[in-house]
Each structure stands twice: as C-alpha cells, then as structure tokens.
Amino acid sequence: MAEAEIGNRESRWSLQGMTALVTGGTKGIGYAVVEELASLGASVHTCSRDEAQLNVCLHEWKTKGFRVTGSVCDVASQAQREELISTVSSLFNGKLNILINNVGTNTPKQTIEYTVEDFSFLMCTNLESAYHMCQLAYPLLKASRVGSIVFVSSVAGVVGLTLPVSIYAAAKGGLNQLAKNLACEWAKDNIRSNSIAPWVIKTRLAETLKGTKPLKPHKE
C-alpha cells in the first residue's frame, strides 16, 4: 500500500481524542481490536483475568507507543464488572466513546449433556456480562455525546450449526437481538449499537472446537 493511501486511511478513521473499553483484550479478537483502536489514536483500557498475561501485553503496547491501560477483571463477576467501570470512569473523566463487549467462552457438548451449571456459566459469561456492562457504561457513553457499543457475536448466533454449541449459540443470538434493541432505545442519546458475527477464527477459543466436525452452517 502506498504511503499516500496509508495516510488517507488514517485521516478518515482517526480516533484521536476518543476513549475505548475492550473486554478480554489480551488475546485473540480482543487483542487485535485493542491494537487497531490504539493505532488509530484512541486511548484504550482493557481487562483480563490473567494478570501476568495482561502485564505482558501492556508492555508490548507501550513499546509500540500505544495509549493502553489495563486491569484484572473476570467479567463473569458482577462485583468485578462494577469495579472495572469505576476504574474506566476515573481514567476517562466520566466519559466513554466506545465499548467493545468481546469476552466470550464455550464448552462444546451435545445438548443433552449440558448441566444447569454449564448453562448458567455460559450464559453469564457470554450474554449477562455484556448486558450488565452496557447498563454500567450507559452514563459514560451518554456523557461522551458520541457513544458506540460493539458486541462480538458469532455466526453461531445467526444460523443453525451441526456443532455441539447450543448454549453458546443461544447466548450469541441474544447479543444480536440486544444490539438491535439498544440501537433503537439509546439512539436518542447518540449511542450506536452493533454486533459483528465472525466465523471460526484461529484463536484459543477455536481450539475447543477441534474434533467437532462438520463446520457447515444450516439455515432454517
């Protein structure tokens, strides 16, 4: 790509002066999102359950000149979600432009093998946490006057699959519908809401699907 084209891209998509929170930003899709936002000039905060991994990533981003901060947080915990938003509010002076609900997990099993505990854990991590994060972040997004929420959903939440991921799929489908409703409800507050639905990406989460072929989506 020519230097002029790179310059034009950066000019069109500059996020200078913008703030962002990316949940689960130390690996996979989340890591790439943090780097993209930071490279476009945004000040980014991210979180991870793994403090050691978080510190490694923060060091990498610092050497690249990115404005990225981080804190330890398990988004499956209500108390830790509240603490995370409190930290973000303090860092960004009560305002937030971008919320990326990226955290997700999966435990592939046949539907009849899932337990009540499995259901609770997967729904909490994939759907409930994102819902609550939006509630907590709402005042900050509204205060910024230019707010944007992005949910990292999945193809599994859009079409039927032969993979043993029924709970994961239900949760991701819930994210898609949540994005639609918030887009309508919070439009008056200048808060946009969108979901993206990737297919299998080569990340650690994808490793859990090994040996569960075929990977053909089935439309209803």
* DSSP 3-state of 195: strand
Residue 79 is encoded by which pair of tokens?
């108390």
User: Do 195 and 154 meet the contact criterion of CB atoms below 8 Å apart?
Assistant: no
- Closest by CA position to 186, among listed 144, 141, 136, 153: 141
Report d(CA 6, CA 17) in Å as an integer. Answer: 20
Owner of token pair 């089935």: 218
User: Do 52 and 76 meet the contact criterion of CB atoms below 8 Å apart?
Assistant: no
Choose the catalytic residue: 31, 114, 138, 168: 168
Q: Is 131 a catalytic residue?
A: no
Residues recognised as catalytic: 168
